[in-house]
Amino acid sequence: MTKPADKPQWVRIAEQFEHSGQTQKQFAQQHGLPLSTVQSWIYRRRRQASAVRVPAVRLLPVEVAEPTVSSEGKVEVLTGRGVRVSFALGTDVSYVARLVAALESPSC
């Protein structure tokens, strides 16, 4: 086999290896490829496939009624289900959004 020239070809080779049932060394020898290069692309493919995918934050419309900040610098959010969440000013908004979404989910 001639040496693949581009990334898509290497990704396909890594996929072929995954389905081959061979060791990396056997696969590289059979295809006439450098073992270290095959290992590198297999590692890249596995790392990409196992990358943790964080779900997108879904923001919901809210109604602000008398925004108040306590003397301790805390803000409260009352969810649609009636759950009251208190957090410090400056808390990461995406964290609060994920927390409220989780509390609003049917499994909670």
In a domain, 1, yes or no: no
Residue 12's pLDDT band (cuts 50, 70, 90): confident
In a domain, 2, yes or no: no
Per-residue model confidence (pLDDT) at position 29:
93
Burial class, 39, CB count within 10 angstroms (exposed 0-12 / middle 13-18 / buried 19+): middle
- Count of the separate structural domains present in the chain: 2
Q: Does residue 34 sit in the same domain as residue 60?
A: no
DSSP secondary structure letter of residue 81 = T
Residue 69's pLDDT band (cuts 50, 70, 90): low
Contacts of 14 (CB under 8 A, 6+ apart): 38, 41, 42, 44, 45
In a domain, 72, yes or no: yes
For 68, the domain range is 54-108
Q: How far apart are the first and last CA of the chain?
A: 55
Q: Does residue 58 sit in the same domain as residue 103?
A: yes
Q: Does residue 42 sit in the same domain as residue 67?
A: no
Q: Does residue 64 sit in the same domain as residue 105?
A: yes
